Structure 1
């Protein structure tokens, strides 16, 4: 009976097989993680790994719980998140607007593209002291740093997405004497949105990196400042705990954009395996 059903519905049979494969891979990933943590713990306990270089996972876990129970962590975390989100929204907005403008004007694209590429090639860490000099030790310098780092992925993806519109579809709109506004909102933008969201996923993570880098260079608050302080005090357990917390936050921000992507761009082609 089971064989008959599989033969009658090969798509369902294939999807069930794929789910089993992914479930097996997930279990293997968890097993590998547990094995690595156990090896890390044992090597730390027997003295192979120095606690100042790589503290034991139990030490990091204990430090994480201690930080999460403290009130000052959330004050600094709020500052970093504010800088990250503000930089992300401003940088992404500017990137999308500029991407739309240069995509609709090939001459302008050729004129501006070399400057944009050269600016992207500049190591952003070299700009951090300059931004601190210009804007001081407050959040403005970190927001500008986040804007600088997160701008390029969204800009490039916006341009690529708008240039990937199917030529036959464009000709169809022209044959229907569609206005430029209608062509943009009903053809070009829907085609480009999957590309734009792909850029936004990277940009949000880069914005967090930009805020942290700015706080490293000069700040009196923020997670970057805490990392600097704990590192100077050789409290390596708390340093790694902050890294774990930042990793979780970055993952949650990424998943938020991923969720918005799937909800808002429901017409986009998805991986059939998902």
Structure 2
């Protein structure tokens, strides 16, 4: 562990950036829930974090929805509360390190010398795999997971264009891309077979959650038919249809390791 990074405690970190998970209030971590229950002020994005998540807060906590704010309006509010000695939580959907505008938040906190802790959360791709009851890394079929998005108003580096990432034919989880589904489908079909299964996952963890399992060549049509244009995750992977028996080496009787040495030869 880097000795310059102190051990997390609420006292040493007046700002807690907590991953709320994809939506279900039960999917926040125990640490995240405990810290949320101690907060004096909670900043959250109401369009991405359901209000049910705030049931973990104290009745006296000031819960501020930032969906209509800019950084220039709510970050000074955060700073003012920290300077008053309050415990402040930034409650983010999913895991803060994935498409969570975390970088600009931490840059502000570092600039103003406000200590903070980041508490990880369950990401939508993890809940999607759980709902679909699949492993996204099946031995001899697929061993990599790519988390990405298509080019939109946020630039994607050229080397990370979907067409080049699709060439790996890994388990690919596509965020923030519903409005570009036709273009995404064309780029994916350049490398994946048309019958590759794709799961369209809408508002995972929310009461109105929906999951549609289709072929890749029907991804754009399914998006159009459902009318979903936001809060959608696509999971494209041969693992979604894995039926043949596939075993890892970890529990194979023919594979020895530190905790299970090979048997002496007879």
User: Which of the five TM-score ranges fits, normalised by the shorter chain?
Assistant: under 0.3
Select the structure with the greater relative contact order (CA < 8 A; seq sep ≥ 6): 1
TM-score by length of 1: 0.22
Q: Which is higher, the Rg of structure 1 or of structure 2?
A: 1
Name the one with the larger strand percent. 2
